Amino acid sequence: MQTPEDEITIAIAVDLAVLKPHQRRAFAGLDQYRRAVKVRGVPELAAKIAESFAPYAVFDGDQVLRYPAIAPFIAQTLYAIPIELRRGACDSDRQKACDARERMARLISSQLLGRYRFEHLRHVGASCHANWDAAFEARFGKTSG
């Protein structure tokens, strides 16, 4: 059985694995010829990773947040990942690239779990509930984010 920590790590690992090659290279500061360039796309990647947490209520202390509110923290965490590790995720050796993505996912999840607490939501979208925002506020009250 997976722990919530495992679920979060796996969600991040999947997000990193399904990145298009040009997005992965941009995050690693590489161009199409694998030359070093300025790192790009970190806020977009952070938003994509944060979106994976839509089925969770995110607690920052006793304040409850929705997933978009954690995107800036995720971006900050992504910038802190060593460039060598990011570039390792672009390696032509599939196993090395996979290992690098798994290490990045563990780093990101450990930072998130160190700062936030995640709780599964019963209603995760408008298709599940007529007024998702009302259901969220009924369970958790007014939120930030």
**SS3 per residue for the chain:** CCCHHHHHHHHHHHHHHCCCHHHHHHHHCECCCCCECCCCCHHHHHHHHHHCCCCEEEEECCEEECHHHHHHHHHHHHHHCCHHHHHHCCCCCHHHHHHHHHHHHHHHHHHHHHHCEEEECCCCCCCCCCCHHHHHHHHHCCCEC
Could you tell me if residue 131 is inside a domain?
A: no
Could you tell me if residue 137 is inside a domain?
A: no
Q: Work out how many domains the chain is built from and give that number.
A: 1
Residues 6 or more apart whose Cβ sits within 8 Å of residue 79: 39, 42
Could you tell me if residue 117 is inside a domain?
A: yes
CB-facing half-sphere around the CA of 71: CA atoms within 13 A: 18
pLDDT tens sequence across 61-81: 888 888 999 999 999 999 999
Could you tell me if residue 132 is inside a domain?
A: no
Could you tell me if residue 33 is inside a domain?
A: yes
pLDDT at 119: 87
pLDDT at 59: 92
Could you tell me if residue 139 is inside a domain?
A: no
Quote the CA–CA distance of 39 and 70 in Å, as a whole number.
Answer: 21
pLDDT at 55: 85
CB-facing half-sphere around the CA of 97: CA atoms within 13 A: 14
Asked whether residue 133 carries a pLDDT value surpassing 70, the answer given is no
Confidence bin at 126 (pLDDT 50/70/90): very low
Could you tell me if residue 96 is inside a domain?
A: yes
Could you tell me if residue 140 is inside a domain?
A: no
Model confidence, pTM: 0.83
Query: What is the residue range of 75's domain?
Result: 4-122
